[in-house]
Structure 1
Amino acid sequence: MAISFDEVEVGTELPAQSFPVDRAALVRYAGASGDFNPIHWNEKFALAVGLPDVIAHGMFTMAQAIRVVTDWIGDPGRVVEYGVRFSRPVVVPNDDQGAVVEVTGKVAKLLEGNRVQVDLVATSGGQKVLGMSRAVVQLG
């Protein structure tokens, strides 16, 4: 069931979600994306270049965040614009928990043509990992 433009207003909150991230997920993403930069899988290398540990791919984090929007609208094809600024890496320790990316979203603007701007907040370890995370969505 598609969400209609008449059903939303500025301030409408999307259901928040949490996305676990472990080293295995990073390896799978590296295989799918072709991004085998060792900062995403080699702890020794990550530490040598000044990182606190292995970090998640920025595009992986960005993809997790937009899921809050696509799950809300039910059709990824309705996302007509999406952009973020990478403000902090998601640090993924080599333990049983890994990391968690927590994402909230809120309708920030009603736009012409039955579109809305959704602003997202993505955090990990209590710190914001994406800045200016915004999507424009075509509603029915």
Structure 2
Amino acid sequence: MQSKQNKNVQTNTKTKQFDDVQVGDKLPEKSIPITVALISNGALATRDFFPGHHDKDAAIALGSPHIFMNILTTNGLVQGFVEAWSGPQSIIENIDIKLGMPNYPGDTMVFMGEVTAKNPDNRTIEVGLAGKNQYGMHVTGTVRLVLP
């Protein structure tokens, strides 16, 4: 039986090399369809049982139009976005993000990023990134990683 492959997932199987990455390099944009399953499963997988992340009626009672994504799911998507670009032997040292507009089912979040700093002393690079949906910026931040 042949497995179906998500056409939206583009993983770099070759790790970026420190010397080949320059400040100003742009990461390829990545679109993430926001679904009920992504939001509720992400919340449950991160043991976030707040009703606004999995119970539509509770979310509406809180003043939200639908359930909304939690920060831990967003954090995981940020990590996946950067690692898909950097490759399997990169090492994430730090993720620093700030949430903005909520992600609701039916949205599409588009990630974009750029190399903003490079330190040859410890072979780290910093990526500035943003994830935008129809309401504006859902997430902004930086990721620092080590490349071979």
TM-score range, shorter chain: 0.7 to 0.9
Instruction: Check if 1:127 corresponds to 2:140.
Output: no
The answer for the alignment partner of 2:9 in structure 1 is none
1:80 equivalent among 75, 78, 93: 93
Structure 2 unaligned runs (5+)? Answer: 1-13
Q: For structure 1, which segment, 41-50 or 116-125, has the greater mean C-alpha deviation from structure 2 after superposition?
A: 41-50
Q: Which residue identity lines up with residue 118 of structure 2 in the other structure? A: L
Cα distance between partner residues in 2 of 1:39 and 1:76: 36
Is the 2:27–2:114 contact (alpha carbons within 8 Å) kept by the matching residues of 1?
yes
Instruction: Check if 1:99 corresponds to 2:99.
Output: no
Q: Which residue identity lines up with residue 102 of structure 1 in the other structure? A: V
Q: TM-score, normalised by structure 2?
A: 0.82
Instruction: Check if 1:20 corresponds to 2:47.
Output: no
Shift of 1:11: 0.6
Deviations 1:22-80 (A, max 9, x none): 11222322332221211012222112212232111121122112222101111276111
Q: 1:16 aligns to what SS in structure 2? A: strand
Q: 1:36-55, aligned counterparts within 5 Å?
A: 36-55=49-68
Shift of 1:2: 2.1
2:84 equivalent among 42, 47, 71: 71
Cα distance between partner residues in 2 of 1:30 and 1:22: 12
Q: TM-score, normalised by structure 1?
A: 0.86
Structure 1 unaligned runs (5+)? Answer: 93-97
Structure 1 residues 76 and 44: CA distance shift in structure 2, 3 A = farther
Shift of 1:126: 4.7
RMSD (CA atoms): 1.7
2:44 equivalent among 31, 38, 50: 31
Structure number with higher helix proportion: 1
Is the 1:58–1:89 contact (alpha carbons within 8 Å) kept by the matching residues of 2?
no
Is the 1:15–1:68 contact (alpha carbons within 8 Å) kept by the matching residues of 2?
no
Cα distance between partner residues in 2 of 1:17 and 1:27: 21
Is the 1:108–1:116 contact (alpha carbons within 8 Å) kept by the matching residues of 2?
yes
For these two proteins, the number of residue pairs brought into alignment is 134
Cα distance between partner residues in 1 of 2:97 and 2:89: 17
Moved over 6 A (4+): none
